[in-house]
A and B are shown apart, each in its own frame.
Chain A
Amino acid sequence: MAVQQLTGEELSERVGAAVPDSVVASDDGILFVEPAKIADVAGFMKSDSRLDFNFLNSISAVDYINHFEVVYHLTSMNKHHTAIVKTRLDGRDELTLPSVYHLWRGADFQEREIWDLMGISFSGHPNLKRIMLWEGFDGHPLRKDYL
């Protein structure tokens, strides 16, 4: 059975109704949400019976110099559909997102890796410390302005 990717418009209707003031924009592939609402949105997308996103493929972070983007790839193993959720963090200092560790345990290491290499911290993560580099390392080396 083919896996179908849900469009951003389709998602924004349902997500916007369930979590007010969360959707920033949407296009044919991607749903942009407010950073502070990401855990609520993720919680809804996991628990809603029609969406049923029970698997987190990956979390990634992108440095666009003026802002950071964090990308969540989600899949529903039962409904055979996927979605991409993005959130945008302005600035470069003291960036924080709500953790989705409590929804998908696979977020554990990936959020630690993003904290380690990109310097985005996740509030609510139970063990947010460096994963690749050693304790005491100075800086976040995958940022564009490192070195």
Chain B
Amino acid sequence: MVQDLKDASIEPLAEPTIEVPDDLKNNLMITSVDALVNWGRKSALWPVTFGLACCAFEMIASAMGRFDIARFGMEAFRASPRQADLMIVAGTVTWKMSPAIKRIYDQMAEPKWVISMGVCATSGGPYYGSYSVVPGVDHIIPVDVYVPGCPPRPDALLYGIMELHEKIKRYHNLPNGPRLNPFGRSSKPESP
């Protein structure tokens, strides 16, 4: 257990595990594979272009200059799910739309994440109990971060994205690595 916690830590370990010679101190940095890979993944999340309702406009606004999602390396909204690793479900999910959502999610390459943006995608929101609206997109695909609001302001979406960054930083990537997941999921994410 203690070893799991140490392995999952994103902070440098206190005891020096690798000695770096003095003349290389300015050229070498020691870190873990997880920290490096997770840093790379979270620093360039590419969202799939996917707007369902009015939340999409807040998502678009967050991509524009005032809020500027490019600060997170995310300005490349991809038109193909095969080039994207984040799906922002922005808006009301209807049962008729759900096969398409499932398909786009399945087409995205691992590793992939999902943000449920707004109350409609999270729980059905004002349409909860409707004959045609899914009571939460997590009935169809797994969700990593829920952003409340109707619609959430771009600030809220950006905060959700930053929370997702924190989550990605704690992933384990080595096939035989520890199985601990600080978010309490039963299985660890698939290794690349």
The total of chain B residues at the interface (CB under 8 A) is 4
B96 close to chain A: CB less than 8 A: yes
Is the C-beta of A16 less than 8 angstroms from some C-beta in chain B?
A: no
Query: Is chain A's interface secondary structure helix, strand, loop, or mixed overall?
Result: loop
Q: Which residues of A contact B131 (CB under 8 A)?
A: 133, 137, 141, 146-147
Interface magnitude class on chain A: under 10
Main secondary structure of the interface of B (DSSP, over half): loop
Q: Which residues of B contact A133 (CB under 8 A)?
A: 96, 131-132
| Complex Cα–Cα for A101 and B109 (A) | 45
Contact with A along B111-131 (1 / 0, CB 8 A): 000000000000000000001
Interface string of A105-147 (1 = CB under 8 A from B): 0000000000000000000000000001110010001000011
Q: Which residues of A contact B95 (CB under 8 A)?
A: 134
Chain B residues with Cβ under 8 A from A147's Cβ?
131
| Alpha-carbon distance between A141 and B133 when the two chains are bound, in angstroms | 13
Q: Chain B 82-104 against A: per-residue CB contact (8 Å), 1 yes, 0 no?
A: 00000000000001100000000
**What distance in Å separates the Cβ of A136 from its nearest Cβ neighbour in chain B?**
11
Complex formed: what's the CA distance from A134 to B131 in Å?
Answer: 11
Distance in angstroms between the alpha carbons of A147 and B129 in the assembled complex: 11
